[in-house]
Amino acid sequence: MTTRQFTAFALVLLMPFGAAHPLTRPLASGVYWLYVTPALEATDAAALLLVLLSMMAPRQPARRRSGANAVQLLAALTALGALSVLHAWVPSLAVASTVRWAFAAAVCWALADAEMPIEQLVAVFLAGLALQSLVAILQVIRQGPLGLPGELAPFANWPGASTFALGSGRWLRGYGLTFHPNVLGGFLCVGLILSLPLLGSRVVQLVCGVMSVALLATFSRSAWIATALILPPTAILMWRRDPFARRGLAIAAVMVVAGLSAAGWTWRDSIKARIGMQAPPGAVTTSAPAAIIEHLKHDDRIALTAVALRVIADHPILGIGAGNSPLAEQRADVTPLYPHNVALMLAAEVGIAGGLLWVSLMGTAAWRLRHSRPTVWLVAGVGAFAALQIIALLDCYPWSLNAGRLLTVTVLAIIETAAVRARPG
């Protein structure tokens, strides 16, 4: 194992962790500190070392280099962020955000340039998610934190806890050691899809069963939707293309169904409340569809999207500055969060071109699949990125949070590496 490989393994192992240490005072007031404060995060040392090692490594022949398309799009997005500093509402926040964007692009380049052993990289990633899964499941069973180092889960009755109404009380969702249950849900969704080529291993089959229960425990609707839409067709495609993978896929499917059935029955009331079959407290409804409508009325996502669309209409070319979108929500008297749609968030921050670049990343992944031999890793990588794109239609963390950005660029690097392996010759 080379130093660069060891560093990459450390990066994917630490990637989901949400603990961060602020480096300065918040750059804007009235907004959650992590959104507006430069901070040191668990992955920073590994990410920086990986980039430096890649810069010092011997250059590969141009024919063998990978990652050009994805990295170029990420670099263009970073350039828009840098340009937005000149007209940002809070220039210092735009600088801090642009530096993070550039760092993510550099990590994507470093991982793709190194042509990491995908099998080992994903195995380490799954090992980390197995730990996150066990913690999340225990948090939901206990309905509170476990007292572990770096744990960010609060008790259900604490202000800011990620909960939802259940009867007369609140139900705590599973955090693991991440920043938020939605973030853990996204990681588990991607992990389940990337695990498909490794299901010949009994350990990975067991890990998939545990991760599926943990995904349920996050009560992340965006991750549920993305997994339901992408995982089955990806698994079916692999079933058809690789007869040797069929036994592992079948065993894993049985374990996943068994785990979800047991957990789903145990948490059935919570699941009904989360998907909107029970109306929020104080609402009077006569049917499940009416209850769902009541839930939508109480969902901040609609207000966040409305403000983002207004900002885009007022600043279509230049935006309001990288990382500045929570300030627009604040000025509109809406909860100061990022818009829960990455394309709209980027269009509001750095102009419509930023949103188009985000969408183009999916086009690049699809182009790789179309113009390369569709190996199992290429199929799994494109499937994982498609799931992230679905999540990005309903949430912001695939780009607004450092953990989400690193997950996004890691999946892109896996696609690029798999595409290079699939090239003839």
Read off the pLDDT of residues 78-100 as tens digits, 9 standing for 90 and up: 999 999 999 999 999 999 999 99
Specify the higher pLDDT residue, 328 or 69.
328
Contact 26, 36 (CB under 8 A): yes
Q: What is the pTM of this model?
A: 0.93
Contact 115, 420 (CB under 8 A): yes
**353's tokens:** 């071109």
Q: Report d(CA 405, CA 408) in Å as an integer.
A: 5
Distances from the Cα of 304 to the Cαs of 204, 222, 315, 335, 401, in angstroms?
Answer: 39, 16, 16, 8, 17
pLDDT of residue 275: 85
- CA-based torsion, 57, 62, 63, 69: positive or negative: positive
> Is the distance from CB of 133 to CB of 210 less than 8 angstroms?
yes
**Tokens coding 233:** 């067709």
pLDDT value, residue 300:
77
pLDDT digits (tens, 9 = 90+) for 90-149: 999 999 999 999 999 999 999 998 878 999 999 999 999 999 999 999 999 999 999 999
- Please write down the HEC assignment for all residues of 153-200: CCCCCCCCCCEEEECCEEEECCCCCCCCHHHHHHHHHHHHHHCHHHCC
Report pLDDT for 284. Answer: 44
Average pLDDT score over residue span 183-203:
97
Measured CA distances, 79 to 57, 75, 94, 400 (Å)? 25, 6, 12, 17
Question: Span 51-55, mean pLDDT?
Answer: 94
Average pLDDT value over all residues in the chain: 91
Q: What is the pLDDT of residues 246-288, one digit of tens each?
A: 899 999 999 999 999 999 999 999 999 988 755 555 544 444 4
Sign (positive or negative) of CA dihedral 116, 3, 398, 360: negative
CA–CA gap between residue 226 and residue 347 (Å, rounded):
23
Q: How confident is the model at residue 371 (pLDDT cuts 50, 70, 90)?
A: confident
Residue type at position 319: G
Could you tell me which of 84, 7, 13, 19 has the C-alpha nearest to residue 46? 7
Interacting residues of 141 by C-beta distance below 8 A, sequence separation 6+: none
The reported pLDDT for the residue numbered 293 is: 40
Which comes out higher in pLDDT, residue 292 or 61? 61
User: Of residues 339 and 275, which shows the higher confidence score?
Assistant: 339
* R_g of the chain computed on alpha carbons: 21
Could you tell me how many helices (H) and strands (E) the chain has, helices first?
19, 4
Cα–Cα distance list, 147 to 134, 182, 264 (Å): 14, 21, 26
Give the DSSP H or E segment for 39.
strand 39-41
Tokens of residue 319, six digits: 């935006």
Per-residue pLDDT at 295 exceeds 60: no
Region 214-232: mean pLDDT is 97
Q: How far apart are CA 397 and CA 403, in angstroms?
A: 8
pLDDT at 416 over 50: yes
Reply yes or no on whether the pLDDT at 10 is more than 90: yes
40 sits in which H/E element: strand 39-41
User: Residue 292 — very low, low, confident or very high, per pLDDT cuts 50/70/90?
Assistant: very low
- Residue 378 DSSP class: H
pLDDT of 46 reads 96
Query: Rounded to a whole number, what is the largest CA-CA distance in the chain?
Result: 68
Strands 20-22 and 163-166: unpaired
Q: How many residues does the chain have?
A: 425
pLDDT of 160: 87
pLDDT of amino acid 74:
97
Task: Report the alpha-carbon distance of residue 347 to residue 341 in Å, rounded.
Answer: 10
